[in-house]
Structure 1
Amino acid sequence: MASAPAPAPAPAVPGSAPVPALVLKPYINFKVLTNPETAAAMAANIKHRNLPETISVAAVSDLYKTVIERTQQLDKARSERNRVAAEIKSLFGESKEAKRQKLVERGRVLKEEIHTQEAELAVLETQLYDQAVLIPNNTHPTTPIGPESAAQLIRIHGYPLLDHVTLSKQLDLVDFESAAAVTGSRWYYLKNEAALLELALVQFATQRAVKAGFMPVITPDVVRPEVVQACGFQPRDEASQTYWVSTTPPGSSKANASTLSQSDADQQRQQHHYHQHSALCLVATAEISLAGMNLDKTLEESQLPIKMAGFGRAFRAEAGSRGAEVKGLYRVHQFSKVELFVLSKADPGVSDNILEEIRKFQEDLFEELGLCYRVLDMPTEELGASAYKKYDIEAWMPGRNSWGEISSTSNCTDYQSRRLNIRYRTNKIINKPLLTSTDKPSSSNNDSPSSNSVITTEFAHTLNGTAMAIPRIIVALLETYQREDGSVRLPECLWPFMAGVKEIRPKGV
């Protein structure tokens, strides 16, 4: 048993064309879940990440054993049904009619039993996969254990300097008030040099990424929720930060449509359906769109690693944030982002090396921008479900009088690829007995008598990293490069993209 049962097609949003069901079948490694040694390590990993007790390796293991037992019972019943059917076909003549009828009755009973067992097994398999997909990836052995305070300091570059909301007002760079009237709190207009600065940062990061061998991609900002979930996010969770897309306006006749026979509860369920089962949702990071580019694809090993640099908009509800977290541009609902994404061979050594390469690339960007930053090896409670190992990079932000995250990079090993079914063909070495003089060579297309390798498929490892999260970099640049006269000097690496602007001065000066 390798993959989950196919889910029912998602209902179409009223007023829109039907959206074909997207069936994603995760390939769960149940061997490690049922092995006492590895299962214990995975249970400890869940505890180290401070995840809910409802996520249980033991429960999944027990369910898996039950599914195996029920599957064996079902196979036994099917085998007996086939034997009975074959015996019925062999009986001829009136003398054998009584035995034949008895077997026919036995076949009818078996058919009903098999139908019941199949229905029960389907329910058990659904429960099994619903619980199994909640188990997080393993944790790298060097990852610190505990909350954010347990993060290990890797290094500090530069020195802390001195605020961006005040600077942006004095320099006429950001209009929060108009955006609040048009859209709501934590939305913004970038204008004048700030608008140029966003475009310059995107160009700067993208050009450096292309030089480093990354393929540039402009990603869709809207994806199916199944892809979001396959990447390790939970878009339908009550605490989700996801914005949903619907073609049905709130309060419209379609949204409120009901009949006289509908109960209030029915109407509430219908309105809940429009929110929870929208066909699409806005991405919180281009990582999701880039991961989905290779959905259900089998690549060649020679193509790996595949390195992509995607530009897109990120949308986050950011519910529950308060205080300095929501001041100015630091935590907003929409922002531009250049995201790095890599598909690599399923070798922890290979993907670990690529993770370090991504981190080095990010550090080179921030050093070229002249930022004071530090690199953190993030502990278990700060890892998302998909992350095997994660680094955060934080810049010193005088306006917060603290460090603020500007980037991160994660190795997700095969967690995402198993859920998105991203594989690659590879030659796998196997032990084969030596041929004797009486042996005949195999005619298989996959191997030869002179070789001990066969072509098989492996799930690729996926890695992601932020090259440039625009608003927070703008915060760090304004506060780092401010001068005594109120102007802001721009780093030289951005000059080619700034339409001749090398510094930002108060208007009229």
Structure 2
Amino acid sequence: MRQNLIERNSEANLAEMLSLYQRLQNGEKDLQSRIEHLYLSLPNFSHPSTPVGDPSKFRLLHLHGSPKLIPRPKNEVDLLSNEFVPHRCGNRARRTGHGTLRSSRALVAGCGSRAYAFYDSLAVLEAALLQLTLNRTREAGFQLIAVPDLLLSSVIQRCGFPTTGDRSQIFNIAERKGSGVGNGTLFSLSGTAEMALAAFCADRVFGEVGTAEAEFFCAVSRCFRHEIAPQESLLYRTHQFTKVEIFCVTEPSPEVGDKVFERIVEFQKKLYSDLELHFRVLEMPTSELGNSAHRKIDIEALMPGEGRFGEISSTSNCTDYQAMRLNILWKQDSAAKRHPYAYTLNGTGCAVTRILKAVVETHQNSDGSIDIPCVLWPYMNGIRRMQMEESPLIAL
């Protein structure tokens, strides 16, 4: 246990937990809530194949495709934003970019830093990416669930996400007294639909005898996160974005868990391959696993405008970590009085801002136009290439 906490770079206080437990055994009262708080901060145990160490210790599993040769590639902001630059011929300016991405002063004043808005062909592209992904999940047999974005903070904690402290990325909302749910109840904005899908499965028994060894769900939702890195581009890390999430409940078996894990990763690889992205598949080290993850694989796509790979998806096998905390059970024997905890797994289908960034940077042309991958054509209202439309020269 202690070694696992070290490898996972965990802040869980095992010594305090053991001390409180001993005091509880000795008859002291009012310690249960503190013990539970500490218990929820413990991480899962790591998979034997998980590399031990810091983020640099990832293991490369697969490299797909090759980089497209793009002379002087631009990032998504330079390609898409509605900016004006001075014209060589005097006191006039011309617009650069497609003007389909807005992060103007007025928008920031109303929504805060890192705010953005898609419109025109870029909004169509966002919808196309979502629709393609949802169609693929339906073809794969995943059940679509419409989930809320506002959750009880306690549910988020039981999923393995801290809601307070320096490591928390969660936006918390305290309920007003007298509003009907519970005076002072703490709610939080969802950071991923994984949280709401896990809550949807809480206090349920899955796996009727004779049924499939896993049940697959998916949801599209807005995701809200505190995380920000000033050095990263606008769409790579934002406070709010749209994402399709995959969530699975399986028989509590390492073999079944590994099989479902690989199925999610293969789903992602096929989708990103069809979007004609150059990407790599990584086995992530212990320091990069969230509390709930037993094993995690990330997929990173090349972002030509920045000359680096950036994460576009993650897949995690959480074994029975979330199920124990949310009472998600699996019926293995219809006569049993108590059923074992299920396994849960989750994976990114499409995190729109990052996928969109990778797509427009990968498929840009030297004239500033952007070719739409053919797999998206049925969803693009006839748009197969986003042309940069220079506005007439405008007096400053």
TM-score bin (small chain): 0.7 to 0.9
Q: Select the structure with the greater relative contact order (CA < 8 A; seq sep ≥ 6).
A: 2
Match among 201, 209, 219 for residue 310 of structure 1: 219
Match among 420, 426, 436 for residue 326 of structure 2: 420
Q: Quick check: 1:493 aligned with 2:365?
A: no
Q: Following TM superposition, by how much is the alpha carbon of 1:416 offset from its aligned partner in structure 2, in angstroms?
A: 0.5
Inter-CA distance 127–221: structure 2 relative to 1 (3 Å threshold) = closer
Inter-CA distance 222–303: structure 2 relative to 1 (3 Å threshold) = farther
Q: Quick check: 1:396 aligned with 2:302?
A: yes
SS at 1:218 equivalent: coil
Q: Following TM superposition, by how much is the alpha carbon of 1:398 offset from its aligned partner in structure 2, in angstroms?
A: 1.6
Inter-CA distance 214–67: structure 2 relative to 1 (3 Å threshold) = same
2-side partners of 1:238 and 1:134: how far apart? Answer: 13
2-side partners of 1:243 and 1:126: how far apart? Answer: 23
Inter-CA distance 140–183: structure 2 relative to 1 (3 Å threshold) = same
1:134-159 C-alpha deviation (Å, 9 max, x unpaired) = 22101000100001000111121112
Give the aligned partner of residue 225 of structure 1. 153
1:29-71 C-alpha deviation (Å, 9 max, x unpaired) = xxxxxxxxxxxxx21111111223x522x55445545544x3x
Q: Quick check: 1:245 aligned with 2:153?
A: no
**TM-score, L = length of structure 1:** 0.68
1-side partners of 2:355 and 2:77: how far apart? Answer: 14
Q: Following TM superposition, by how much is the alpha carbon of 1:126 offset from its aligned partner in structure 2, in angstroms?
A: 3.7
Match among 164, 168, 172 for residue 80 of structure 2: 168
Match among 25, 29, 35 for residue 128 of structure 1: 35
Q: Following TM superposition, by how much is the alpha carbon of 1:303 offset from its aligned partner in structure 2, in angstroms?
A: 5.9
Give the aligned partner of residue 262 of structure 1. none
1-side partners of 2:116 and 2:99: how far apart? Answer: 13
Q: Quick check: 1:287 aligned with 2:194?
A: yes
**TM-score, L = length of structure 2:** 0.86
1:274-307 C-alpha deviation (Å, 9 max, x unpaired) = 9xx5532110101001111011122343364110
The structure where strand makes up a greater share of residues is 2
1:210-264 C-alpha deviation (Å, 9 max, x unpaired) = 101101122211111011101001113344221223566xxxxx9xxxxxxxxxx
Alignment of 1:60-209 (within 5 A): 60-61=17-18, 63-64=20-21, 67-68=24-25, 70=26, 117=27, 120=28, 122-161=29-68, 162=73, 163-169=75-81, 170-177=97-104, 178-209=106-137
Instruction: Write the letter of the residue equivalent to 2:39.
Output: A
Aligned length: 363
Instruction: Write the letter of the residue equivalent to 2:3.
Output: A
Give the aligned partner of residue 483 of structure 1. 365
Q: Quick check: 1:322 aligned with 2:230?
A: yes
The two structures, once aligned, show a CA RMSD in angstroms of: 2.1
Inter-CA distance 165–508: structure 2 relative to 1 (3 Å threshold) = closer
2-side partners of 1:464 and 1:237: how far apart? Answer: 24
1-side partners of 2:30 and 2:59: how far apart? Answer: 44
1-side partners of 2:16 and 2:46: how far apart? Answer: 20
SS at 2:145 equivalent: strand
Give the aligned partner of residue 8 of structure 2. 49
The structure where helix makes up a greater share of residues is 1
1-side partners of 2:242 and 2:298: how far apart? Answer: 19
Match among 468, 473, 494 for residue 350 of structure 2: 468
Q: Quick check: 1:215 aligned with 2:143?
A: yes
Segments of structure 2 that go 5 or more residues without pairing to the other structure are 82-96, 178-182, 392-396
Give the aligned partner of residue 7 of structure 1. none
1:481-509 C-alpha deviation (Å, 9 max, x unpaired) = 01122111001111111111111001269
Give the aligned partner of residue 235 of structure 1. 163
SS at 1:483 equivalent: coil
Amino-acid identity (%): 38
1:90-123 C-alpha deviation (Å, 9 max, x unpaired) = xxxxxxxxxxxxxxxxxxxxxxxxxxx4xx2x33
Q: Following TM superposition, by how much is the alpha carbon of 1:127 offset from its aligned partner in structure 2, in angstroms?
A: 3.9
Match among 274, 288, 305 for residue 368 of structure 1: 274
1:442-501 C-alpha deviation (Å, 9 max, x unpaired) = xxxx3xxxxxxx564011100000000001111101110011221110011111111111
Rg (Cα) greater in structure: 1
